[in-house]
A and B are shown apart, each in its own frame.
Chain A
Amino acid sequence: MKYGTGRTGSIRSTIFERGIHVGAGFWLLLAAALTVSPAAVTLAVLLAAAAHEGGHLLALRRFGVPVESVRLGAMGAVIRAPGANRLSYGRELWVTLAGPAVNLLCAPTLAAISSRRGWDWGLLFAGAHAVLGVYNLLPIAPLDGARALYLMVACVFGPTAGERASRGVSLTAALALTALGACLALRRGAVLFLFAALGLLLPQIRLAETERSV
Chain B
Amino acid sequence: MKRARRSVRRVGAAVGRRTAETRSLSGIEVKAILSGAVFVALVGLKLLLPDTMAGVRGAVGRWLVRDADFVSAFSAVGRAVSGEARALEDAYVAVFGEEEREAREVTGEAEVELPDAPDYPEHATAERREPGFAYAPPLQGVVTSAFGWRTHPGTGAEAFHYGVDIAADEGADIAAFADGTVGVVGESVELGRYLTVHHADGYLTLYAHCSRVTASSGSEVKRGDKLAEVGQTGNATGPHLHFEVRHGEDWLDPQHYL
Give A contacts to B, CB under 8 Å: 23-25, 27-28, 30-31, 34-38, 40-41, 44, 49, 52-53, 56, 60, 68, 75-82, 84-85, 92, 95-96, 99, 107-108, 110-112, 114-115, 118-120, 122-128, 130-131, 135-136, 142-144, 147, 184, 188-193, 195
A56 to B28, CA, bound (A): 28
Residue from A31, A77, A120, A143 having most chain B Cβ neighbours under 10 A: A120
| Contact between chains at A34 and B217 (CB < 8 Å) | no
B96 contact from A110, A123, A184, Cβ within 8 A: A184
Let me know if B5 and A78 touch, CB within 8 A: yes
Contact A35 B35 (CB under 8 A): no
A96-B4 contact in complex given A35-B56, A111-B79, C-beta closer than 8 Å: yes
Least Cβ distance of B110 to chain A in Å?
A: 17
**CB pair A144 B64 closer than 8 Å:** no
Q: Are A56 and B66 in contact (CB under 8 A)?
A: no
In contact, A127 and B73 (Cβ under 8 angstroms): yes
| CB of A126, distance to nearest CB on chain B (Å) | 4
**A181 CA to B190 CA, complexed, in Å:** 24
Known pairs A40-B71, A127-B77, A192-B64; A24 contacts B31 (CB<8 A): yes
Instruction: Determine if A24 and B10 form an interchain contact, defined as CB atoms under 8 angstroms apart.
Output: no
Whether A191 pairs with B64 at a CB distance below 8 angstroms is yes
> In the complex, what's the smallest C-beta–C-beta distance from A181 to chain B, in angstroms?
11
Q: Is the interface of B mostly helix, strand, loop or mixed?
A: helix
Q: Are B1 and A135 in contact (CB under 8 A)?
A: yes
Interface string of B172-191 (1 = CB under 8 A from A): 00000000000001010000
Is there a chain A Cβ closer than 8 Å to B8's Cβ? yes
List 5 other contacts, CB 8 Å, given A25-B35, A37-B61: A27-B36, A28-B39, A110-B78, A123-B74, A136-B1
Q: How far is the CA of A195 from the CA of B175 in the complex (A)?
A: 42
Of the candidates B60, B82, B187, the one whose C-beta lies within 8 Å of that of A36 is B60
Q: How far is the CB of B232 from chain A (nearest CB, A)?
A: 19
Residue of B nearest to A55 (CB): B2
Tell me the complex Cα distance, A24–B56, Å: 23
* CA distance in complex: A75, B36 (Å): 16
Within 8 A of A (CB), among B38-61: 38-39, 42-43, 46, 53, 56-57, 60-61
